Structure formats: structure tokens, C-alpha cells
Amino acid sequence: MAIQKWRHKDLLDVTYLSDEEILFILDNAKRFQEVNLRAVKKVPTLKGKTVTLFFSEPSTRTKLSFDTAAKRLSADTFALGKSGSSVQKGESLKDTALTLQAMHPDIIVIRDSSSGAAQFLAERLNCSVVNAGDGWHAHPTQALLDAFSLREAWNGEFAGKTLLILGDINHSRVARSNIHWMTRFGINVRICSPKTLLPRYLDNFPVEIYSDLNKAVQGADAVMCLRLQLERQAAGLLPDLGDYSRRYCLTRRHLSEAKPNAKILHPGPMNRGLEISSEIADCADSLVLNQVSAGVATRMAVLYLYGTRNDDMTLNPQVGE
């Protein structure tokens, strides 16, 4: 698939990408995955470019993944968190962003607890803005790395597969972004969650909704468990965590009803014994660590495309030996 010029300034969600563009990102991620397997895991693709990581919400995997991806592309990286910035002193997101732009970064990667924060910056800044998770809204690179992981596991076939998303759907930007691309690519998406954790937007998608995990998992090709976001449960939507674990924690017994060798995904961090049993998290069909590896490769592809969008060149990264 050939795309000669990347048309997007920002990556706010997968909804802004065409099917062809998603596959193009995955194709580039495959090339960068090969770089990550070399003895010397570095290419000069973004040499001279600057990537700023602006994470005002806690993150381990995503922040480290973006930082690793940028460094392996030879970009200069700078990290800023809420505790180390003037945001903690009351400075507005706009003023902080304008301060960062005055330093002339090529890309700002932002994670923020407010839905719409990435778009707010994108509308005001000249540099590219990549959304690393905003509130309950979107997490596009997580969705893309999940697509990469499943594409590898399913030999490039999405259409006709059945995938169950299990857990806290209402508070999950991961679920929302994944549902968008999965339904577009012909995956039969099932949802299993307590009714109190089901969002209204599901009415707009061709998904099957279950409250019984034993029925939801039957014949599934893959199960994506979600972290139960305890920090967002102030409304008392789950009065009894023990009951949640008994009904919605994925175990070997449940998985015996799925397709043979059904794949297991989890965006992390995992609450073992609450959302997923350790036996399943560590089983041979678990893609959890594959997702971590795919995250670096996919984010390398994203940073490459958005970091070179204005360059006078075809989209052909320098990944030579």
C-alpha cells in the first residue's frame, strides 16, 4: 500500500483515519518491529526532530513506549509531567502548551485526564499533537497496537473474527477506540460488563451486549480484558469488588468455552484476580507482552509519519541495516 504524503497534522483518534491509513500505519509498524529485533535498535529516521512528552496523568507503559520509540528513531525527547510543570501551580493547559510550542517541538505527545484535551491543543498549536489518552474519550495508539497484535496473531485476517471486550467499558478510552476500528474491519465485537459500566455510545455500534460472561465468551476468537478503573469509581457503580471478580474475572473455566487457542489481550496494568486470573494472563495464548512490544513499533510508525509529514520525501522510512 503506497501513500505518498501523510495528510494529517494530528492523531486524535482512529476515527480520523481511513481504513487504508490504519493499514499503512500497521505496515510501517511491521518494518519498525524488525528494527526492534536488531542488535542495534536505532535508525536515523527522525534525527534532528524533537518530541515532547506532556503527561499530566500517571502513565508507565505508554510514556515509556513513546520515549523508547522516539529515541530509537533518533529524535530528541523531553518529558514533562504535571508534578514538574506549572500546571500544578495553576497555569492553564493553553499557556503550558504555548510555552512548549515556543521551544519548537515537532510533535507533542499528550496524556490528560480531561476528554478533549488533545484536540484543544491541536486546534491551537502548529506542531503535531498525538493523543496518548484523554479522559474517557480516546487512546488511538493503544487501538493501533492492539490491531497490530491481532493482525500478527490472525495472519492478517480481521473479517469474521469474534472478539469479546470484557470489563469496565464505560470508563475505558481503550474500548472506545478499539470498537471504532474493529467494527469497521468486520470483527464481530461482543461486550460483557455490569450494566452500570455500559456507556450510552454503544447504541451507535453493531455490537452484542452481554451481562453473563459464560455466554459472552462462547466461540470467541479473542478476549480483551480491561482494567477495572478503581480511581474512577467514586459514583459507587460497583459496591462489591468481590462480586465483580466472581462474575467478570476471566478464568480457565470461561476460556474453555471460547475457540481453541483464543487470544488474550489486556492493555495493562492488570489487576490480577479481579479482571483476569494469573493463569490466563500468563498462558501461551496471551498477547499481553506482544502488545507491549507492538506498542514500541506502532508508536515508532506514528512518530515517523507525523514527524515527517512536512518533509519533501515519500513515506519510506530509513530502516536500513
Annotated binding site for L-aspartate: 89, 173, 227
**Binding site members:** 61-62, 89, 111, 139, 142, 173, 227, 268-269
Q: Which residues contact 130 (CB under 8 A, 6 or more apart)?
A: 10, 11, 66, 107, 108, 109, 110, 118, 140, 141, 302, 303, 306
User: In the structure grid, which three cell numbers stand for residue 265, read together?
Assistant: 489481550
User: In the structure grid, which three cell numbers stand for residue 85, read together?
Assistant: 510543570
CB 18 within 8 A of CB 283: no
- Dist CA 263 CA 224 (whole Å): 8
CB 133 within 8 A of CB 113: no
- Edge-first strand order for the sheet with 50-55 is 76-81, 50-55, 107-112, 128-134
Kindly state the DSSP code that residue 270 receives in the 8-state scheme.
-
- Dist CA 69 CA 48 (whole Å): 15
Render the burial of 161-193: b for 16+ CB within 10 Å, e for the rest: bbbbbbbbbbbbbbbbbbbbbbebbebbbbbbb
